[in-house]
Amino acid sequence: MSWRELLDQVGNEPVFRSSLLLAGKVSVAQVRLQLSRWVAAGRLLRLRRGVYALAPPWRRVEPHPFVVANALHTGSYVSLQAALAYHGLIPEHVPVVTSVGPGRPEEVANPLGTFVHRHLAPGLLFGYTRMEVAPRQHAFVAEPEKALLDLVHLTPGGDAPAFLSELRLQNADVIDAERLAALARQSGRPRLARAAERVVPLLRAAGGSG
């Protein structure tokens, strides 16, 4: 495969998997060798084993961090503080993108950022949707209510009033209190149900409908 052939095939993709290049009668070893050479030459960025992005100036699409996160951890969705900030619910800038899903916890640092994966039990993998996070770029992201519940679930003492207050929720009208309670019930976790109840007064104080 030539560089021009690669650009023709993946030039409009923010990220791509090497498996995309292995269809048909091709030499797997040769493709991998060529990819390694392009990484060494600075033409490609290796994001993790088998996941790549074009480097500037060949990059036509700037990869959104959430798209990168989805590509790094198959079957995951972006949640916790990253999703809360995306929905405008917390004031802080969140430099690390955290995903939740099956598989072991890990942190991946690559040229496009730092990406953390937290394990979530299969029974809790709901409450997310595919969103257009940038023009023609889509990623699986937690709904605002589920991002909050995931944070509570994965944080020791996450249902404590002090912790919930420290989140400094803003733009609280983004949260639907009924949806929050429904997702908490769906989880079957009493701690999440308690947190959903305790958040309602905070939403009202922040100007939400509750």
Encode pLDDT of 91-113 as tens digits.
888 999 999 999 999 999 999 99
Query: Residue 208 — very low, low, confident or very high, per pLDDT cuts 50/70/90?
Result: low
pTM, 2 dp = 0.92
Strands 113-119 vs 96-101: parallel, antiparallel or unpaired: parallel
Look at residue 146 and tell me whether its pLDDT is greater than 70: yes
Taking residues 14-26, what's their average pLDDT?
A: 86
Q: Which residues, other chains included, contact 143 with Cβ-Cβ below 8 Å and sequence gap of 6+?
A: 127, 128, 129, 179, 183
Task: Classify residue 186 by burial, with Cβ atoms within 10 Å: 0-12, 13-18, 19+.
Answer: middle
Q: Mean of the per-residue pLDDT values for the chain? A: 94
Residue 39: partners with Cβ closer than 8 Å, 6 or more residues away: 45, 46, 52
pLDDT for residue 207 is more than 80: no
- Kindly give, in sequence order, each residue whose CB lies less than 8 Å from that of residue 41, ignoring residues fewer than 6 positions away: none
The DSSP symbol for 92 reads S
Instruction: Decide if pLDDT at 48 tops 70.
Output: yes
Q: Residue 30 phi/psi, 5° resolution?
A: -70, -40
Residue 139: strand pairing partners: 131
Question: Model confidence over 119-141: pLDDT tens digits?
Answer: 999 999 999 999 999 999 999 99
Q: H-helix or E-strand containing 110?
A: strand 106-110
